[in-house]
Each structure stands twice: as structure tokens, then as C-alpha cells.
Amino acid sequence: MSASELSNRGRTWFDALAGGAQRIETGLASVLVADATLADERVRLLAIVPDPHNRFPRARHGEVGLDEAWALAYHVRAAIAADRSGVQRPLIAIVDVNSQAYGRIEALLGIFLSLAAAADAYATARMSGHPVVALVVGKAISGGFLAHGEQAHRLLALDAPGVMVHAMPKESAARVTRRSVEELDALGKTIIPMAYDIRQYARLGLLRELITGIDADAPSAPQITRVKERVAAAIADIRVDPGDLTSRLNNPEAKVHRAASIEVRRRLAEQWNA
Amino acid sequence: MTPTEHCTDPTAAERRDRFLSRRSVIEMRARERAQALLDPGSFRELLGPFDRLESPWLPLQGIVPESDDGVVIARGELAGKPAVIMAIEGAFQGGSMGEVSASKIAAALRLARGDWESGKAILPVLLLETGGVRLQEANLGEAVVAEIHAEIIALRRHVPVIGVIHGMVGCFGGMSIAAGLCSYLVVLPQARLGLNGPEVIEQEAGIDELDAGDKQMIWSLMGGEQRYETGFADALIEDDAEQLRQAIRDLAARGLPARHRSEAVDDYQRRLAKIDPTRPLDGPALRRLWPQGDRQ
């Protein structure tokens, strides 16, 4: 992957939402953190961006690597600690993550635990009263998304080309399931959870909102204003009714396409004390 | 604790007797494992095969579903105390987490938390024999695996959540993150624990990065013994059901850790800062750098 192919969306949307707010030093060019003002409130923005000079070569294209995941955990937990006796500032994960770093040294040094630490920090923030919103502006692939986004109260995504959520990069998924990439694409059209397309993903009821009419790569000022409004609305909604990840089951799409999830929870509860 | 340490200087006859009386956990199916861990007569399966909660997505892809979707949820007692075992069947679809199988685990964790919130104790034990998210149910599997993460984090405020990786499938993908969230982890030497399966690393990064066919090298990176010796797991045991029961009891008796491994941010950041990725590093070298018990 050449430098020109590296996605700039994480940085674009970080800058758009930061609006000139001072960046917090993370020590990593791949991890952007700032406390910005959104709807008259201080919010913490967090983004992972490509760093072609990353000291870990497998984390140079916007993957969540060892350093990135621990840094996310650090900066999320720093906000939790600072706000313990005040207003819990909202946390906004800006998501354009090209999966996790796939390498031998990542395996050896336990990247599974690094990602667990990031997920843990976001979930802890969620349970400590911080509204947590994930805004998907590009790729949200696999472990990268589990570490940076999936533990949010609410998932928002831009309805734009190149915005996708998936459990595994396509070529790997093809190899592991012994299918061709073409077969995988065809399957995604009929089997909704297999799709790479964000509109299909929205049918699963997992997104709170799919924000339409936005240029994900070069947003106009009014488009940025609208995205900010939608994020602020999600924060206000969380403050009224935080819920947890199971709140993603309470919507018309989930009732159709996640009927099995709902049925398992209902029947297991019935049998638990039987 | 090494696999042999608890047995001080056994005679050859004792070693032989112990070997012959061992009940292999690896050779069991998930249901048998749950039965072997719970006290005799106390096993009660929830959402068992007769409830016929199958994957709605596999038949659409020409794959025969199973009536338990490859996860056994069993309540019972372990050493006289209430426990829930959540056991993944590695023999069905590689222990992969689909909508139903993952929901069974997420829901069981939540119900266990409900018990604690109403003053009832229950010990949660996860038997993690899984390749990770089931790719035939990709985005739903992943979404529910995120729910499992959320539930482990919420439940372990009340009680240690104990994970077990016995092998031979190992524990990969989103479920390796679940393993990283457990309060305590028990591993067997046959286990492997890693975010990315060796085949996926080879596919994504090339065979020069990692040769998925080189078993010895794979185990030296992510095998059970390596993970234990470098502080990623808390107990290393032999392939024996009684030893596993004892290890779970011992870890439960420790109570909640002062902080969970996934909360030790400063510690791991300090360790990582000392790693120079331009220099070769292998399993044995990491054992010297990050010895078991070294974490603060």
C-alpha cells in the first residue's frame, strides 16, 4: 500500500470536529487526541490515523497496533480519572481503522491484550457516566473496531462510499471460508451480516444513525455542522437514556434481522432459575 | 506453577498412576467438559440441543447448523458453590462465534451479573475454544462478541471471570480479546492464544512474516506455556479435568485482582517502550524480558 493510498479520513474528521482545539500530546503520530467544544460542552476526540513511519511496520496503514491500543486506553482512562468528581465529558471515537496490525511481533507481544485494554477503557468510561459515541467515517474492520468504537453507547456512520464495517478484511475472509472474493460479494447481497456495505449493516439495527448526504473525504462546512449536530444529539440522547450495548436490540431493524439474538436472551432468562 | 511443580519428586510408579488416572480435557466435547468441571449430579444445561436454537444464517449458505450452535451453557456447582460454565465446542465450525452461540454467552454473563446484583453469588467460567467470529455471520458475530466484552467487563466488578484455553483449536480473533478481559486465565501447553490466527497473519503479511505451517514457531509465539511464562496467563496445567477444576478453584479463591491485566496500562506501556522492533525478538527472549510475576 503506497502512501497515496493511505486513508486520510480519520484526520479529516478529527480536524473537522476539533475545530482548531489544541491536540493532546500522545507521543504517537498515529493517535490523535484533543478536547474540543461541541454544543457548548467539552468533549474528548480520539482517532487512529496512518503513520508511514510507525516504529511497528505492520501498523503503518491506520491499523490499531500495540502502541495505538494502549495509548487509546491511556487517554480514555485519563479522562475518566480527571472527571471523577465533575461532569463526565463525552468521548467521541472517530473510526477509520484498517483492522488490527497483523504481524509476528504483534502476536508475540500480545496484541490481543492491547485491544482488550482499549475496549476495557471505553466500556469503563461508558459505565462511569461518560457518554461514548463512535462515528464511523471510513473502515471499521475487525479487532480495530472492537478496540476503538464497538464499546460506545451509540454507533453513528456516514452514508458514503468507502464506509464499511466488517469482521475481517475481504481477502482473509475468502481464504478462511474457502470462497472467492466474488462469491463473498455475492453472498453479502442476500445474507445481511456478510455484507461490507454500510447500508446493509444499518439493517441489522446496530447503528443509531446513518448520516446521509456527507462527502466523507472533503466535507463542506455545512456538512461538518450537520455531523456535529448529529453527534451532539446522540450525546444528549445518551444522557437521557444511556443503556448499554443491548439497547442496539431495541429497534425495528433488530426485531427483524436480529430475532435470534433477542430470542436467545429471552429464553435463557426464562431457564436461568427454572 | 509449572505442569509438574505441584507434584514434588514423584516416583515412576506414582507418575504412571497419575498419568493413567488423568481425564483428558482436550479429548472431551464441550458438554462433557462442562460436566467434568461441575460437581457430580449438579449439571443443568440451559438452551440445550432440545431447545433447537440454531444459527439462522448457516442454512442459507448450505451449511448444516447444530441445535446448540456450538455453545453449552451449564449451571451447577463447583466445589459446592454455584457456577455457570460457558463452553465453546471447537468441533463445530471451529468454535466460531455466530449470532446465536455468542448471544448465549453474552446473555449468560448478563444473567450472572443479575444474580450478583440481587445478592446471589455465582462463579462464571468461560471455556474458550474458538477461532473467533464466525465469518458466515460476520457482522452479527462481531457485534455480539462486543456484547460479550461489555458483559465480562461489567461482571468482573462483582466476581473474577475465569477463562480457560485448553486447545487444540486455541483462542483467536475477537474472543482472544475476551480472554484478555478475563480476571484470570488458565492455559494448557496445547493451547494457543492470539488475536490473529497464524493463517491470517500469513495471508495479510506474507509467509516471510510468519509461516503458518511452522508449528514449533507458532507455539513459541502464542502457545500456552509461552503465554503463561510471559505473564499473559495465570495458571498452566496439564491436560487433566481434575487439575483444571483445582486451578479454577484456586483462582476463584484469590478473589478479584487488585487490577485486571487489561487495566495495567502504565505497566504495559512501560514494557512496550523498551521493545525495539528493529531488533529480532523471539519467544525465549521475551520470557527473559517479561517473566511471569513481573507485572506490578
Calculate how close chain A gets to B22, using CA atoms only, in Å.
31
Interface list for B 103-132 with A (CB within 8 A)? 103-104, 106-108, 110-111
Of A112, A127, A194, nearest to B193 by CB-CB distance is A112
For chain B, give the secondary structure using H, E and C. CCCCCCCCCCCHHHHHHHHHHCCCCCCCCHHHHHHHHCCCCCCEEECCHHHCCCCCCCHHHCCCCCCCCCEEEEEEEECCEEEEEEEECCCCHHHCECHHHHHHHHHHHHHHHHHHHCCCCCEEEEECCECCECHHHHHHHHHHHHHHHHHHHHHCCCCCCEEEECCCCCEECHHHHHHHHCCEEEECCCCEEECCCHHHHHHHHCCCCCCCCCHHHHHHHHEHHHHHHCCCCCEECCCCHHHHHHHHHHHHHCCCCCCCHHHCHHHHHHHHHCCCCCCCCCHHHHHHHCCCCCCC
Chain A contacts of B133, Cβ < 8 Å? 142, 167-168
The DSSP line for A198-259 is HHHHHTTT--SEEE-S--SSS--HHHHHHHHHHHHHHHHHHHH----GGGGGSSHHHHHHTH
Dihedral angle, C-alpha A261, B75, B148, B104, nearest 10 °: -20
- Per-residue pLDDT for A46 more than 50? yes
Residues A146, B149: contact at Cβ < 8 Å? yes
> What's the rounded mean pLDDT across residues A28-57?
97
Mutate to test the interface with B, among A64, A115, A264 (most CBs of B within 10 A): A264
**Predicted pLDDT at A4:** 56
Poorest-pLDDT segment among A177-186, B29-38, B143-152, B206-215: A177-186
Distance, CA of B272 to CA of A49 (rounded, Å):
20
pLDDT in tens, A96-128: 998 899 899 999 999 999 999 999 999 999 999
Q: Does B28 touch chain A (CB under 8 A)?
A: no
Tell me which residue of A64, A253, A236, A218 sits closest to A150, measured CA to CA.
A64
| Full-model pTM | 0.95
Residue in chain B lying closest to A66 (CA): B272
pLDDT of residue B1: 43
β-bridge mates for residue A211, sequence order: A158
In A, minimum Cα distance to B176 occurs at A112
Determine the distance in angstroms separating the CA of B126 from the nearest CA of chain A, rounded to an integer: 16
- Chain B residue whose CA is closest to A111: B195
CB pairs under 8 A between A and B: 245
Sign of CA dihedral B291, B293, B294, B296: positive
Check the CA dihedral B41-B47-B52-B56 and report its sign: negative
pLDDT tops 90 at residue B294: no
- Of the candidates B61, B108, B269, which has its C-beta nearest A268's C-beta? B108
- Residue for cell digits 482488550? A116
Predicted pLDDT of residue A171: 76
Interface test with B, best of A54, A97, A105, A112 (most B CBs within 10 A): A112
Any chain A CB within 8 A of the CB of B140? yes
pLDDT at B9: 64
Which residues of B are less than 8 Å from A172 in CB distance? 200, 203-204
> What was the pLDDT predicted at A85?
93
Contact B140 A124 (CB under 8 A): no
Q: Specify whether the CB–CB gap between B154 and A218 falls below 8 A.
A: no
Q: Which residue has the cell 475465569?
A: B162
For residue B27, CA distances in Å to A10, A77, B42, B73, B91 come to 47, 42, 22, 19, 11
pLDDT digits (tens, 9 = 90+) for B12-56: 887 777 777 889 999 999 999 999 999 999 999 999 999 999 999
pLDDT band at B270 (very low <50, low <70, confident <90, very high): very high
Q: How confident is the model at residue B8 (pLDDT cuts 50, 70, 90)?
A: low
Secondary element (H or E) of residue A57: none
Residue at grid coordinates 486513508? A7
Model pLDDT for residues B220-259, shown as the tens digit of each residue: 999 999 999 999 999 999 999 999 999 999 999 999 999 9
Q: Where are the domains of chain A?
A: 3-241, 244-274
- Would you state the CATH architecture of domain A3-241? Alpha-Beta Complex (3.90)
Q: Is B165 on the interface with A (CB under 8 A)?
A: no
3 state SS of A20: coil
In whole angstroms, give the CA distance from residue B64 to residue B66. 7
φ, ψ at B242 (rounded to 5°)? -70, -40
Binary contact (A260, B173; C-beta < 8 A): no
Chain B residues in contact with A167 (beta carbon < 8 A): 133, 135, 138-139, 141-142, 174
Strand-pair partners of A36:
A43
Q: Which has the minimum average pLDDT: A191-200, A207-216, A239-248, B2-11?
A: B2-11
Which residues in chain A touch residue B262, judged by CB atoms under 8 angstroms apart?
73, 113, 116-117, 119-120
**B286, A269: Cβ pair inside 8 Å?**
no
**Pick from B93, B97, B95, B113: nearest CA to B33:** B95
d(Cα A142, Cα A125) in Å, to the nearest integer? Answer: 21
CA-wise closest residue to B144 among A264, A68, A229, A120: A264
Task: Count Cα neighbours of A10 within 13 Å in the Cβ-side half-sphere.
Answer: 29
Residue in A with minimal Cα distance to B181:
A116
B220, three cell numbers:
513459541
Q: Tell me the domains of chain B and their CATH numbers.
A: 12-263 (3.90.226.10)
Q: What is the ipTM of this complex?
A: 0.96
Alpha-carbon span B120 to B290, nearest angstrom: 38
pLDDT in tens, A242-268: 999 999 999 999 999 999 999 999 999
A71, A195, A261 member nearest B103 (Cβ): A261
The mean of the pLDDT values for chain A is 94
What is the per-residue pLDDT across A125-141, written as a single tens digit (0 to 9) for each?
999 999 999 999 999 99
SS3 A181: helix
Give the residue from chain A lying closest to B282, CA to CA: A108
Total residue length of chain B: 296
- Chain A positions in Cβ-Cβ contact with residue B180 (cut-off 8 Å): 110, 112-113, 115-117
pLDDT, position B14: 79
- Residue A4 burial (10 A CB sphere; 0-12, 13-18, 19+): exposed
Nearest CA in chain A to B142: A167
Residues from chain B contacting residue A57 (CB–CB below 8 Å): 277
Amino acid type, A39: A
Tell me whether residue B278 is exposed, middle or buried, using C-beta atoms within 10 angstroms of its C-beta: 0 to 12, 13 to 18, 19 or more: exposed
> Bridge partners of A197?
none
Q: What is the pLDDT of residues B90-132, one digit of tens each?
A: 999 999 999 999 999 999 999 999 999 999 999 999 999 999 9
The pLDDT of residue A1: 47
- Give the pLDDT confidence of B139-162 residue by residue, as tens digits: 999 999 999 999 999 999 999 999
Lowest mean pLDDT segment, chosen from A54-58, A73-77, A143-147, B2-6: B2-6
B218 is written with which cell numbers?
A: 507458532
- The closest of B86, B77, B184 to B126, measured between CA atoms, is B86
User: Quick one: average pLDDT of A12-26?
Assistant: 97
